[in-house]
Chains A and B, each alone.
Chain A
C-alpha cells in the first residue's frame, strides 16, 4: 500500500489487516503512557483545505501516539489566502520535511492529485463527496468490536447519500467485509444512478428499522454548494431522524452510529445520541487507533 486514497484500492484481506493492527493500537492507547516510539523523527503533514476539527485532531493524536512530529496546515492562516495553489502548498510542505500527507479538500480527487505531485505517501482525509477511507475503516473496526464480524450484518445508511463521502467509502468497506447495505433517503438525496452500488434502497426509515442491525445516520445540511437540497431540516428530521420511539422499532441488539458532528434534533435526538446503543463515542475512539494503523502501514515499513 503506497497511499490510502479510496476503499476501492483495498481488498478484504488488506482491510482486515488494517483492522487487526488498529485493534492492537487500541490497547496501546489504553496504557498509562499511550505512546510507542515507532515513528520517532518522521513528520506528518495534515493539509486540511476544508474546515474540520475532529478528523484533523484524530490524525494528529494518532501521529503523536506513534511519536511522529506533526505539521498542521489550514488555509485560514496560510498562504492560500494569498492565492497559493494546492500543488505549491504540498510541494512546499514536502520541501520543509513532511514524510506523509493527510489531505482533506472539497474537490473530488484532490488527495489522488496530491499523490501525483509528492514523493511521500498520501492519506485521503476526505475529498468532496467521493471518499473518506479512514472513516470507513474506523466504522468497520467499531462494528467488528461490537459484533465480532460484519458478515451478514444488515446496515442501513440514512441521509444525504448523494453528497456523502462517508456513504461512498462505507458502502464499499461494509460490503467487502460481508455486510448488506440498505440506503434510506428521499430520492433527491440518492445518487442518480445506483447501478455501480451493491445496495438496496428504501424510502422509509420506519419500514427498514425492524430488520436492521445497524442504523448509520449521516449528517445532513440544507445547503450543499449549488443550493438548497432540503425543504427544511425539521421536515427531514420528522421523516428520517432517529428518536426514542424509532429506537424501539430496532431489534434488541441493534446499534446506532453517526460520523459526527451531530445535528442534535435533526438526524438524531439527544436521548438517542446518549443511549448505550449509540456507538458514536466508540467511533471517535477508534478513529485514533485506525489512523495509527494506516500511518504505520504507510511509513512504518521503511
Chain B
C-alpha cells in the first residue's frame, strides 16, 4: 500500500489499548495500524503519544462581530497549533447564535477554513438577554448539541426550566456559565485575602455555587443533561459530585488556567490573569487538579477568550474578562496535573467529543476511522511567547511548560507539524 502519511515510533492510544506501533493514513482515514508501508509524508513520533485529536468544548472565536480579536480562520490556526481537531464555539458573538442560519454560518465558515471541525453552541435565550427562548428547534436541526448563554447565566429559573424541558426531549446538553449577577456585581477577582489586600472588589465562590445548586434542582426536575462550564471552586465540585452520586447526568469542565494558577497571581495586576470565573484560592486549585485526575471533572476546556492588545493595555479593573488558551492548553494541563496517557485523552478528547456528540472526534485509533489525531510529547519543555491567535492575552506567556504538541492531523491532513519529513 502507498499511504499518504505515516506516523512512526509513537505510543498510540488504540481501541485495543496503548501500543508502540506505526500508523498509516490513506484517503483521510486510518488505513493500517502496524505493518510497513510506503508513505508520502512521515511524522516521527519517537517519545510522543499519538491519540485522538483534542476537542475543545468551550472557546470564543469572535466571528461574527469582533473579528479584530479573532476570527474562525485565526482561531482554527491556533487550534491546530494546540493539537485540536474540533472546537465548540460559544454563541456570544455579535449577533448571538440564537437562530439556525447563524449556526450554519459558523460551521460552514469552519469547513471553508478546513483546519479543524468547528461546531457551535447555541444561545438559550434570544440575543442572550435572558428574556425569551431562542430558536431551540431550529438550532438543533442545524446541528447544535450544546446550549448556553455563556458569558452570563440564565438567571430566570422559570425560563431555564422551560429550555431544559425542550432540550431534554432532544437529548441536548444545557451548559451553564454559573454566575449570580448580584454576588459578582463589580467584582474583579476571587473574594479573599488577596482581594482584601488589593482593595479590589471580590467575586465570592458562592456566586458560582448558588447557580449550580439551583440548576441541579432544575436538572433533577427536567432530566436534562446538564454541564457546568469552567468550574472554579471546591464547593462547586462537591455539588456536582453529590449530584452524580445520585445518578444525575451531570458533567463539568475546568480550564487550564484554573488548574495552573491561584489568586496569588493577581497580585501583580496583569490583565492576562483576569477572567470569569476568577482564579480562586490555592485549596480550590488543588481540588480541581485532584478532580480532573480522578474523573470527578470530565473535561478540560480552554475558555479561549481573545482580546486585542489595545483592549488589555489598560488597568486591571478596566480590562475585559478572559484569556486565550488553545495553543497552551495541552501543555498547561500536563504541567499542572501530570496525567497518564489514558486520562489525558479521556479529558481532552474522548469525553468532550461525547458531550458535544461529535461522532468523528475523540475516537481511539482504529482502522477505518477518520484520521483526527494529535502527536503530543509529554516530556518536552517549551515557553510560549508568540501565538497564532490574533490576540496575545495569555497567562502562560513566559511560563515554562512541560509537554508539547508536535503535530496535528485533521481528516488525514497535517494541519500543524514540528516533526514532518
Residues of A within 8 A of B (CB): 85-87, 105-110, 112-113, 128-131, 162-165, 168, 191-197, 225-227
Shortest beta-carbon distance from A224 to chain B in Å: 9
- Give the number of chain B interface residues (Cβ < 8 Å): 24
Whole-angstrom CA separation of A199 from B285 in the bound complex: 29
Whether B196 contacts A196 by the Cβ 8 Å rule is: yes
Whether A108 contacts B202 by the Cβ 8 Å rule is: no
Shortest beta-carbon distance from B43 to chain A in Å: 43
Whether A109 contacts B195 by the Cβ 8 Å rule is: no
Taking a contact as CB atoms closer than 8 A, the residue among A86, A129, A165 that contacts B315 in the complex is A86
Taking a contact as CB atoms closer than 8 A, the residue among B186, B192, B198, B204 that contacts A130 in the complex is B198
13 chain-A/chain-B pairs, Cβ below 8 angstroms: A107-B316, A108-B317, A109-B269, A113-B314, A168-B199, A192-B191, A192-B192, A192-B204, A193-B192, A193-B193, A193-B196, A195-B193, A196-B193
Whether A128 contacts B192 by the Cβ 8 Å rule is: no
Whether B198 contacts A87 by the Cβ 8 Å rule is: no
Taking a contact as CB atoms closer than 8 A, the residue among B191, B192, B316 that contacts A109 in the complex is B316
Shortest beta-carbon distance from A240 to chain B in Å: 20
Residue B197 at the chain A interface, CB threshold 8 Å = yes
Whole-angstrom CA separation of A231 from B82 in the bound complex: 52
Whether A191 contacts B315 by the Cβ 8 Å rule is: no
Whole-angstrom CA separation of A197 from B197 in the bound complex: 8
Minimal Cβ-Cβ distance residue in A for B192: A193
Enumerate chain A residues within 8 angstroms of B137, measured Cβ to Cβ.
none
Residue B318 at the chain A interface, CB threshold 8 Å = yes
Whether A108 contacts B315 by the Cβ 8 Å rule is: yes
Whole-angstrom CA separation of A177 from B195 in the bound complex: 25
Whole-angstrom CA separation of A128 from B269 in the bound complex: 13
Enumerate chain A residues within 8 angstroms of B200, measured Cβ to Cβ.
108, 128-130
Residue B162 at the chain A interface, CB threshold 8 Å = no
Whether A112 contacts B196 by the Cβ 8 Å rule is: no
Minimal Cβ-Cβ distance residue in A for B310: A85
Residue B185 at the chain A interface, CB threshold 8 Å = yes
Shortest beta-carbon distance from B320 to chain A in Å: 14
Whole-angstrom CA separation of A46 from B13 in the bound complex: 63
Residue B313 at the chain A interface, CB threshold 8 Å = yes
Residue B265 at the chain A interface, CB threshold 8 Å = no
Whether A105 contacts B315 by the Cβ 8 Å rule is: yes
Given A112-B269, A227-B185: A107 touches B318 (CB 8 Å cut-off): yes
Enumerate chain B residues within 8 angstroms of A105, measured Cβ to Cβ.
315
Residue B388 at the chain A interface, CB threshold 8 Å = no
Whole-angstrom CA separation of A195 from B281 in the bound complex: 14
Whole-angstrom CA separation of A191 from B196 in the bound complex: 5
Whole-angstrom CA separation of A86 from B198 in the bound complex: 20
Residue B201 at the chain A interface, CB threshold 8 Å = yes
Which B residues, 246 to 279, have Cβ-Cβ distances below 8 Å to chain A? 269
Residues of B within 8 A of A (CB): 185-186, 188, 191-202, 204, 269, 310, 313-318
Known: A86-B314, A193-B193, A193-B196. 18 other contacts (CB 8 A): A86-B315, A87-B314, A105-B315, A107-B315, A107-B316, A108-B269, A109-B317, A113-B314, A113-B315, A130-B200, A163-B199, A192-B191, A192-B196, A192-B204, A196-B193, A196-B194, A196-B196, A227-B185
Minimal Cβ-Cβ distance residue in A for B267: A109
Whole-angstrom CA separation of A163 from B188 in the bound complex: 14
Whole-angstrom CA separation of A106 from B316 in the bound complex: 11
**Chain B CB within 10 Å — which of A87, A128, A163, A197 has the most?**
A128
| Count: A-B pairs, CB below 8 Å | 78
Whether B193 contacts A128 by the Cβ 8 Å rule is: no
Whole-angstrom CA separation of A197 from B195 in the bound complex: 12
Whole-angstrom CA separation of A138 from B200 in the bound complex: 24
Whether B195 contacts A192 by the Cβ 8 Å rule is: yes
Whole-angstrom CA separation of A109 from B194 in the bound complex: 13
Enumerate chain A residues within 8 angstroms of B185, measured Cβ to Cβ.
226-227
Whole-angstrom CA separation of A112 from B197 in the bound complex: 16
Whole-angstrom CA separation of A108 from B200 in the bound complex: 7
Minimal Cβ-Cβ distance residue in A for B317: A107
Whether A113 contacts B197 by the Cβ 8 Å rule is: no
Whole-angstrom CA separation of A165 from B310 in the bound complex: 28
Enumerate chain B residues within 8 angstroms of A192, measured Cβ to Cβ.
191-192, 195-196, 202, 204
The 6 A-B pairs with the shortest beta carbon distances in the complex, nearest first, are A226-B186, A129-B199, A191-B196, A107-B315, A109-B269, A107-B317
Whether B199 contacts A165 by the Cβ 8 Å rule is: yes
Whether B314 contacts A128 by the Cβ 8 Å rule is: no
Minimal Cβ-Cβ distance residue in B for A131: B199
Enumerate chain A residues within 8 angstroms of B310, measured Cβ to Cβ.
85
Enumerate chain A residues within 8 angstroms of B194, measured Cβ to Cβ.
196
**Chain A CB within 10 Å — which of B193, B310, B315, B317 has the most?**
B315
Shortest beta-carbon distance from B317 to chain A in Å: 4
Minimal Cβ-Cβ distance residue in B for A110: B315
Taking a contact as CB atoms closer than 8 A, the residue among A85, A195, A225 that contacts B314 in the complex is A85
Minimal Cβ-Cβ distance residue in B for A111: B315
Whole-angstrom CA separation of A87 from B201 in the bound complex: 23
Whether A108 contacts B314 by the Cβ 8 Å rule is: no
Whether B269 contacts A196 by the Cβ 8 Å rule is: no
Whether A128 contacts B318 by the Cβ 8 Å rule is: no
Given A112-B269, A226-B185, A226-B186: A196 touches B315 (CB 8 Å cut-off): no
Minimal Cβ-Cβ distance residue in B for A49: B315
Whether A196 contacts B316 by the Cβ 8 Å rule is: no
Whole-angstrom CA separation of A163 from B417 in the bound complex: 52
Given A192-B192, A192-B195, A226-B201: A108 touches B186 (CB 8 Å cut-off): no
Whether A108 contacts B313 by the Cβ 8 Å rule is: no
Whole-angstrom CA separation of A255 from B199 in the bound complex: 27
Whole-angstrom CA separation of A225 from B199 in the bound complex: 13
Whole-angstrom CA separation of A192 from B202 in the bound complex: 9
Whether A194 contacts B314 by the Cβ 8 Å rule is: no
Whole-angstrom CA separation of A131 from B269 in the bound complex: 14
Shortest beta-carbon distance from A196 to chain B in Å: 5
Whole-angstrom CA separation of A105 from B202 in the bound complex: 19
Given A113-B269, A225-B186, A225-B201: A128 touches B195 (CB 8 Å cut-off): no
Shortest beta-carbon distance from A256 to chain B in Å: 24
Whole-angstrom CA separation of A192 from B195 in the bound complex: 9
Whether B199 contacts A130 by the Cβ 8 Å rule is: yes
Whether A109 contacts B315 by the Cβ 8 Å rule is: yes
Whether A128 contacts B196 by the Cβ 8 Å rule is: no
